[in-house]
Structure 1
Amino acid sequence: MKKQFVFCMAMLLGGSITSAQQPATVREYKQSFPTYPFSDPNPVPLLSAVYPYFRYDGFTDKPIQKEWKVIELENDFIKLLILPEIGGKIWAAIEKSSGRPFIYYNHAVKFRDIAMRGPWTSGGLEANYGGIMGHTPNCATPVDYAVQRNEDGSVSCTIGVLDLLSRSNWRMEIRLPKDKAWFSTKSFWYNATSVEQPYYHWMNAGLKASGNLEFIYPGNRYIGHNGEAEAWPINKTNGKNQSFYEQNDFGGYKSYHVFGKYTGFSGAYWHDDDLGMVRYGTHDDKAGKKIWIWGLSRQGMIWEKLLTDTDGQYVELQSGRLFNQNADKSSYTPFKHRSFAPYATDTWTEYWYPVHKTKGMVEANEQGALNVQYEKGWLKIYFSPAASVNDQLIVKSGETTVYTKNLQLSPLQTFADSIQVAANADQLTVTLGTNKLQYQSAPQANVLSRPVTTPADFDWTSTYGLYLLGKEAMDQKRYPEAEELLQKALKNDHNYFPALVKMAALLYRNLRYTEALELITRALSIDTHAGDANYYYGLINTALGNTIDAKDGFDLATLSTEYRSAAYTELSKIYLRENNADKALGYAAKAVDYNRFNIDALQLQAVIYRQQKQTDKHNSILTQLLSMDILNHFTGFEKYLRSNQESDKQQFSDQIRNELPVETYLELGIWYYNAGQKEDAVKVFAACPASVEASYWLAFLQKQPIKKEAIDLRLAFPFRSETAGVIEALRRQQSNWFLDYHLALIYLDRNRKTEAMQLLNNCGNSTGFAPLYAVRAALNNTSHPEQAAQDLQLAASIDPQWRYQKLLAEHYIRNGQNDKALPVTERFYKANPRHYIMGMLYAKALLLNKRYAASDAVLSKLNIIPFEGATDGRELYREAKLMQAVQAMQQKNYKKAIQFISQAKQWPENLGVGKPYEADIDTRLEDFMSYQCNRATGKNDAADQLLQQIIRFEPRIDNTVSNFQPANTFVTAWAYRQLQQSDRGTQWLNEQAKQYPDNKILHWSKALFEENQQPLPDAEKNANVRILEALKVSGVF
């Protein structure tokens, strides 16, 4: 039997590497990067699911040199750079022998407006945990961190922070062993609240796009954000192999959640470099595997220079706990959202490593990456180990062994061999050791049978359907929508048990305890032993001070495994508040019995042991907590409470390094208060840096007036239920407008708009605090637009910064007062010509005042720093050009009109948008106008070709982004009419209206075609509607 061996020299070199291995090292230092900083925090509360976070709105195209803290982990094989001041991102992962990054290394820190709070940077490995879909609120700001040198020779850097959207704490230990070519990321994420929270987690690893990149994702389908399923890897429409980056040269941004095979790994291979990388995690830990591509047209490639200076375009390899990053419409598919159970903890581990000279890969895990090819009678085997290997490799074809080899390899010492043998390429099985790694080549191997569509006849308007949608809305932090849906379900059936419980939970969240009690009592009258109903019965009665009923509820909730540990935790708190330490300790122990990661229960035990002066047991619990969560700040404060030493207090505060340290103090102080430890809570709030909320708590606990000198309202956004109770109590004792303002913000977050408005009105007009009036205006926008305008004028007079001018101008535009919007924007822009946000609004105001040439001139001078998905600048440019074309057509200057129409089809990149592929641009309106010009000048053949071009356009939605303008449905129908196919035009309109029943502009287009025009409010008109109206008024059609 003929064999050909290669890389024997590499095998010898591997032996020398093994003998020379040293413990891994960790260093902390400063490194200078060209940095495009962000700035300008928004003091106006965000009335959205992102509350209580604030945005940063300032971005620049001018770099500075800035030093950033770097945590460097290194062993003989790889080196990691971690930047704890930028979200704790693993900024680079470098394979040392080649010096090449296997995770994208961006040598510029270029913040751009992409994340939910604005700033975000490309590249590296980013961890996202929290309540809603998107880049985590902490992705660009400092997080807590700790470094460790471990006894086994490995080193670790653990990053983490409190997520305010869910009041959960996430931690990620980045661990580098001394003798492996992989690093691991171990997540530890716990819900520190007594209620269910929204649940979202994805890891995003940046990879360079160049080098003939192949995405190696086992699967037969991919899922979109809306839960739709398509074929993978071959695109059924165009036949392209989407697993190769360069074959994605169609459409727009790409989100492939690859699915359909039972697998733990995903990876990438740069065939030009003969190098790759692997991410591995077990399927139960990480079922979700996604590819993100900006798109290969200028629409996507414009981001190359926007996000880096020298490192080229990148893509992302992502992994998640669920199958897809589910947008709201995913609720109508099997791919729904989920919630984070009370006091629950999730933990999982992933492995990341480089791959050498394997020509690709077919299987991988923490042992290494395998590639097997069978071509023209030759079996080719490649294995790139990530750890030392001393095992037998066996290859079978069917039941016949065709190859065996004893492998002794060091990490990254690639093995390759080939053998000429008769085999079936679809019946190969490769095994390393005792199933340390196994691969089957059969196309149906590991294929999942899981359904990807919901029954077509499922009734979403049924009681269960409405309940499901309400639950889904809650799991996405869309609480007002959830309330509406659950109310509809209960209107259908006022005794529907699941909706009663879910609605009671929502009312509890919204601080409507009496109403919540009515519903949960009704639920118990249907099933008195139900775990969920009893648990929320306990919580609601606790809030109302009905301790006996609360105990009764929690006692019965322990019968349910889902709520057992949480119910025991709540019972422990009740008994601790009653100073019954023995019972409190017993229930805390029970809570840990059923959830060994129940952090709250362990902390309750620690408090009791400290009070009982059982130092050894107290130390043991603190050690146990730190072994799970090295960033647990409770442990540091407990040490201080026990010792009363200033050094321990200082050590505690030194470990809080995140962007918003006040929130860490507040969360800890409120935890002590909830546990009945008021004196300990006072000590936390007293140690807290200057904070409005801490001042409220101290005034409440110490029964003293609020220290007004400590009040700085600019970025103070209270949101906790406990703080609402404190403010309500303070308002009964003292009168301060800022108490009304802050309670109003909490009520707004709890969908209590009427009460919030009453509180804001109580504040009057003389506070001198502009954000208050911006909030009040937002609530009055629809119902009382005149009052809203007055409030925005007042805000702008208090603070002349751009935000209030923008809000005022937008209010005028929304209410059809374009003439009032123009001077507001003009004054500011002329004084600040580099302010592209106000520049765009000025251009829009000019447009709406029919000053099209002036708008065009302003847009030509703007340099817009874009944000993901934004096309506003280019849409304004197009409208300005087409409106000038309409004017030229009115003057019968068709040559000039054609010039403007041609210019409207251009995509000047100073406006912050790159041009998509032609097939993804809806030019039906431009073609319609060109048709009119050609007809008017006798160019009938050219005009007829344009009609055909119009009806050939295919509207579609890809990756939640539509490629069409709804008003252009009229243009298509009109083109059919010109072709003597009016019935087909009517059919077309009806099909579109049926497909998009909620699109008002589409229905306006239908009415326009039927000459039964229904006017749209100015605020709902877009550029195409305005242009079509102008064409109609001018008599063009």
Structure 2
Amino acid sequence: MNLKIAVLLTVMLTTANLGLAQEVQISQQPTVFETYPFSDPNPVPSLAYRPNIYPYFNFEGYSTKPEKIKWDLITMENDYLKITVMPQIGGRIWGAIEKSTGEDFIYENEVVKFRNIAMRGPWTSGGIEFNFGIIGHSPATASPVDYMYYENEDGSITCVVGTIDLPSRTQWRVKINLPKDKAFFETEGIWYNPEPLRQPYYNWMTAAAHVANDQEFYYPGHIALQHSGEVKDWPIQDGIAINHYKNNNFGGAKSQHIAGSFLNHFGGYFHNKGIGFGHFSTYDDSPGKKLWLWALSRNGGIWEDLLTDNDGQYMEFQAGRMLNQFSPSKSVETPLTKAGFAPYTLDQWSNYWFPVKDIGGISDVSKTGVVHVKQSDNLISLGFNPFQKVDGELEIFINGKQEQTVAVQAMPMEAINHEIKYDQPVKELEIIFAGEQLYKWTDKDEMKLSRPFDKTKAPLLSENQELYFEARQYYYSRNYKEARLAYEQLLENEPGHLQARIDYAELLLRYTAYEEALANIYKALATDYFDHQANFVAGSIYNALGQTNQALEAFGWAARSMEFRSSAYAIMSELYLADGQLNQAVDFANKALQNNTSNIMALQVLAVSQRLKGEKAQALKTLDQLWEIDPLNHFIRFEHYLLDKSQSSLEKFKAMIKNEMPFQSYLELAAVYNKYKQKEIAIQLLENSPKHPLVNLWLAYLDPAQKDEQLNQMITQPSAFVLPFRKETLPMLKWAKSEISSWKVDYYLALNLMALGQEEEGHQLIEAIGQSADEATFYLSRALLLDQQEDKKKQEDLEKALSMDQSQWRTWFQLTKHFDNNGENQKALSLVKEAVKAFPGNYVLEMEYIQLLNQAGQYKTAMKLLDKIEVLPHEGAGGGRTLYESVYLNATLQDIKAKRWNAALTKIEKSRLWPENLGVGKPYTPKEILQDYLSAMVYKAKNEQSKSRDYLEAVIAQADKVNINSQEQALVLLAMKNNSQKAAAAELMEKIKKEGKAASVVKIEQLIDYAESSESAPSDLENDKGIVKRIIEAF
């Protein structure tokens, strides 16, 4: 074969010479940032508004004015990269800069601008956010976490951040590792479940980067999974190449999870600047590749203003442990499911983040560097951006034959570009360096994954099996209430469904309904005596009941399975330790470690057993093993203190607990020692804890000598933010109720019962407190916790709370809502008017005031307030704009009734606007059917038929935007009929009848009949106060 090959080799030297000494450093410095802080924690337990985050609470105060605030900033750098970390803001990586260009490849926000986006509210953009839990943002994302940093033996540096996820009691850590001589950094995730229960499993590492019109996204794969599991094409969707940022200038925000390739890198490249960013990992570590973009319209642009000052818009490139951030939808059939986190297990995985420059894009990535390959005509362009010093040969194979060997010598971030002229078809291209395959491409796309993402090939499941999957989805979503209902329905339908019976027993164990759990697991074991999960659950139930030998026997059978072996042995070691059988404890801890060397719970048993046996050297060695896995584990430092009893060791232990709620760390560790029957150690630990009523409770329960003092301290402190949730606390509160008479004890017990699924008992207890409480917060909380109670009792609670404390805006708001919901609109309006004066600038109250003015027909006053209000929205919120439109359209109908046609047209045009002080930006193509139909009717009334027809056409053109069940379909149908499109109207009506809900179809037909009749509204429509009916009525 006659080959024509020409070689062009260019090395861009943009950093120091090859002989430069490597420098690496890490430091911590208080640093001032312009900060828009958050405030106003909600004292009402989240059981009343978001039970899946309890015992966390949300924050509802956000600032529009910045303050200069000092934040602890950790800086990590080598010769190539500079990384900053904010331990007080969820431990997030604040930004990362590539030094030769000075550009941030991980978006670094110059301000700290908290806005209401996360599970608890506060969130700020940029950096890399570490998300563990159930969905969305971690509860700790804006709060202080524990952290430490150190240098490693190989010269690299590490900063570790992490904390406990309270609802699941799992522990998460991220080790941020920066090598001394490489141009990438690693985030190593560590997450473990120390409970004998399965927990929801969700992890995404959310990185941010800048955006620009020259930006191209490099995400290998051919499909884009949506949150529901719906499958769309990638990178071309509906004929649009959406892998180019500028081409996303349509619709709303984009959330794409790219799948279908075994290549596991992704990122973006700015072609004009010649720089980019990205992520890589092994596929098994992080198969999830998400691309998230704000809408390119002002609907997304407003968030640029809300979240930063001058740094511009950002995008998110997220690495996930699952393929998508799954949110089940009954309208989408998918094989994707929620995941569970097995008991007593630990997960570890690594993600790598990198900059790239001067090579034109991203085709493949390894620890050696980034490769970009572009084939056009007879030219193959190769770009190589090394992450480490390279000195060797690039071997280039085309169609299986080595065509070139190119000597390369470069430092990290020194781009190498190479061109090959090749006049034959290329079917295979491979690049090798030092024995490592840097890149391989074939025309058969061997990296393409073929497994399906739809259920077309799935066998039809029985209704009961479908119900089982539904129950499990609820369970893994931390929606235990719905899970329980689904399991109970399934077991009523099919009592012999083994897996459902086991899961249900585990759920009852979670609820501390031990006897009922035991009865259910007996039924499962009666079906299959040796079922490994059934035996593990049985062992856990026996353990909770204090039946040690029964538990050991059951765990022994569970340990026959590799799935439960290490976990079962670890719990058995705990049981032997609690029973004082130290040799057996050591033996079973070692058995657990033989099957999982990272079993933290087994290592803890081993360390305690060795200390109790007087084997100090062995104990220290075990603690070193623990430190290698989880250096933030507070158990390590407390055991060091117990080994040497020095004050300095105790102070080191205390100093390392830096998270948002330090007392929770003490309680969690005390629970471990109490489980080991090391009561004196637990007491000693808690005596060093920060003060808190729950700490008082534990000390009173554990130490009879302190009982009276600690119980009195517990009940003299305010009840707000005392949020018991642990199973261990429940018997303590029941005991305290028998020891001391206090409404607070009853209240805390009620909360703990409700947190553990015993809602009815909790409700009865909290209701029985009556009027004996002397804190306004209690009455506000009870009104919302018992939302289904009689309206009279709810009103009494809210009025009492307001009479005791008028400084809590939530009480004003809730009482206003109560009056409004019960038809006492004038009372509501008077109360909220007073509240708005008492709390100037509170947009929640101001929005409620405007809404009530709107209902009362006081449109002029409402319009004035709409001009002044400043809404700081939550993500996806549209309430401010919806209210604005409603006020102006209602005012329009008032003008129409008075035949003020020009005034009506003016208000219609005003209703089309999107004032951004209301917290919503204008989308590309907003739906304006109401405005267009009203305009058509007004112009018809003015006898301007041509304009009327134009607006009717505008209504018809928006038919695709209308939900099939919306009453606005009636206006579309009427527009068609009035514009001589009766056939199109008949066709649309048939579609509505076929696809719409029966009740919606009836309503739409009634509205059309009403519009076309001179008679009064039928009885079914008399009480309809909707805008469509009132528009029809106006004409």
TM tier relative to shorter chain? over 0.9
Partner of 2:186: 184
Q: Does the 8 A contact of 1:170 with 1:189 survive in 2?
A: yes
Say if 2:738 is the partner of 1:735: no
Say if 2:918 is the partner of 1:927: no
Change (3 A) 1:1006 1:24: farther
* Separation (CA, whole Å) in 2 of partners of 1:620 and 1:192: 22
Query: Pairwise mapping of residues 383-782 of structure 1 onto structure 2 (< 5 A)?
Result: 383-425=384-426, 427-442=428-443, 444-455=445-456, 462-703=463-704, 704-705=707-708, 706-710=710-714, 711-782=717-788
Amino acid at match of 1:571: M
Partner of 2:1013: none
Greater mean deviation of Cα atoms: 20-29 or 435-444: 435-444
* Separation (CA, whole Å) in 1 of partners of 2:990 and 2:976: 10
Query: Pairwise mapping of residues 726-875 of structure 1 onto structure 2 (< 5 A)?
Result: 726-800=732-806, 801-875=808-882
Change (3 A) 1:449 1:734: same
Q: Does the 8 A contact of 2:172 with 2:192 survive in 1?
A: yes
Q: Does the 8 A contact of 1:852 with 1:884 survive in 2?
A: yes
Amino acid at match of 1:883: N
Query: Structure 1, residues 4-54: CA drift from partner, whole Å, max 9, x if none?
Result: 5353462xx77x544212241111112211111111111111122111111
Q: Does the 8 A contact of 1:780 with 1:787 survive in 2?
A: no
Change (3 A) 1:965 1:394: farther
Partner of 1:146: 148
**How far did 1:905 drift?**
1.0
Identical-pair percentage: 35
* Separation (CA, whole Å) in 1 of partners of 2:746 and 2:360: 66
TM-score (norm 2): 0.94
* Separation (CA, whole Å) in 2 of partners of 1:98 and 1:483: 56
Partner of 1:155: 157
Partner of 1:59: 62
**How far did 1:535 drift?**
1.0
* Separation (CA, whole Å) in 2 of partners of 1:834 and 1:309: 22
**How far did 1:302 drift?**
0.7
Partner of 1:1036: 1034
Q: Does the 8 A contact of 2:35 with 2:112 survive in 1?
A: yes
Query: Structure 1, residues 123-174: CA drift from partner, whole Å, max 9, x if none?
Result: 11111112x1111111111111111111211111111111112211111111
Partner of 2:314: 314
Q: Does the 8 A contact of 1:530 with 1:560 survive in 2?
A: no
* Separation (CA, whole Å) in 1 of partners of 2:294 and 2:964: 19
**How far did 1:79 drift?**
0.8
Query: Structure 1, residues 741-783: CA drift from partner, whole Å, max 9, x if none?
Result: 1122222223332211111012222312233323322244344
Greater mean deviation of Cα atoms: 203-212 or 618-627: 203-212
Amino acid at match of 2:897: Q
Q: Does the 8 A contact of 2:357 with 2:415 survive in 1?
A: yes
| Pairing partner for 1:215 from 211, 214, 217 | 217
Partner of 2:1014: none
* Separation (CA, whole Å) in 2 of partners of 1:643 and 1:818: 69
Amino acid at match of 2:248: N
Task: Give ranges in structure 2 of 5+ residues lacking alignment.
Answer: 1011-1016
Partner of 1:234: 236
* Separation (CA, whole Å) in 1 of partners of 2:876 and 2:833: 27
**How far did 1:456 drift?**
8.2
Q: Does the 8 A contact of 1:211 with 1:273 survive in 2?
A: no
**How far did 1:74 drift?**
0.9
* Separation (CA, whole Å) in 2 of partners of 1:41 and 1:731: 28
**How far did 1:112 drift?**
0.9
* Separation (CA, whole Å) in 1 of partners of 2:398 and 2:503: 55
Q: Does the 8 A contact of 1:288 with 1:324 survive in 2?
A: yes
The 3-state SS of whatever aligns with 1:721 is coil
**How far did 1:107 drift?**
0.6
The 3-state SS of whatever aligns with 2:436 is coil
* Separation (CA, whole Å) in 2 of partners of 1:873 and 1:394: 61
Q: Does the 8 A contact of 1:278 with 1:364 survive in 2?
A: no
Partner of 1:300: 300
**How far did 1:976 drift?**
4.3
Query: Pairwise mapping of residues 42-441 of structure 1 onto structure 2 (< 5 A)?
Result: 42-47=42-47, 48=50, 49-130=52-133, 132-210=134-212, 212-236=214-238, 239-329=239-329, 332-425=333-426, 427-441=428-442
Q: Does the 8 A contact of 1:294 with 1:301 survive in 2?
A: yes
* Separation (CA, whole Å) in 2 of partners of 1:265 and 1:244: 17
The 3-state SS of whatever aligns with 1:1028 is helix
Amino acid at match of 1:193: E
Query: Structure 1, residues 835-876: CA drift from partner, whole Å, max 9, x if none?
Result: 112111111121122222222221111011122111111111
The 3-state SS of whatever aligns with 2:359 is coil
Q: Does the 8 A contact of 1:160 with 1:170 survive in 2?
A: yes
Query: Structure 1, residues 299-326: CA drift from partner, whole Å, max 9, x if none?
Result: 0011111111111111111110000011
**How far did 1:1015 drift?**
6.3
Change (3 A) 1:652 1:557: same
Amino acid at match of 1:753: E
Query: Structure 1, residues 331-361: CA drift from partner, whole Å, max 9, x if none?
Result: 8412211111101111011111111100112
Q: Does the 8 A contact of 1:23 with 1:153 survive in 2?
A: no
* Separation (CA, whole Å) in 2 of partners of 1:228 and 1:98: 40
**How far did 1:985 drift?**
4.0
Query: Structure 1, residues 74-105: CA drift from partner, whole Å, max 9, x if none?
Result: 11111111111111111111111111111111
Change (3 A) 1:105 1:500: same
Greater mean deviation of Cα atoms: 855-864 or 278-287: 855-864
TM-score (norm 1): 0.94
Task: Give ranges in structure 1 of 5+ residues lacking alignment.
Answer: 957-961
The 3-state SS of whatever aligns with 1:272 is coil
Q: Does the 8 A contact of 1:277 with 1:355 survive in 2?
A: yes
Greater mean deviation of Cα atoms: 939-948 or 649-658: 939-948
Partner of 1:959: none
* Separation (CA, whole Å) in 2 of partners of 1:91 and 1:535: 42
Q: Does the 8 A contact of 2:667 with 2:695 survive in 1?
A: yes
Change (3 A) 1:533 1:594: same
The 3-state SS of whatever aligns with 2:204 is strand
The 3-state SS of whatever aligns with 1:7 is strand
Change (3 A) 1:771 1:1014: farther
Query: Alignment RMSD, CA only?
Result: 2.3
* Separation (CA, whole Å) in 1 of partners of 2:787 and 2:599: 45
Amino acid at match of 2:109: N
Q: Does the 8 A contact of 1:367 with 1:436 survive in 2?
A: no
Amino acid at match of 1:861: K
* Separation (CA, whole Å) in 1 of partners of 2:1009 and 2:116: 43
Q: Does the 8 A contact of 1:976 with 1:984 survive in 2?
A: no
Change (3 A) 1:615 1:780: closer
Change (3 A) 1:856 1:1001: farther
**How far did 1:815 drift?**
3.0
Change (3 A) 1:1016 1:354: farther
Q: Does the 8 A contact of 2:215 with 2:245 survive in 1?
A: yes
Partner of 1:30: 30
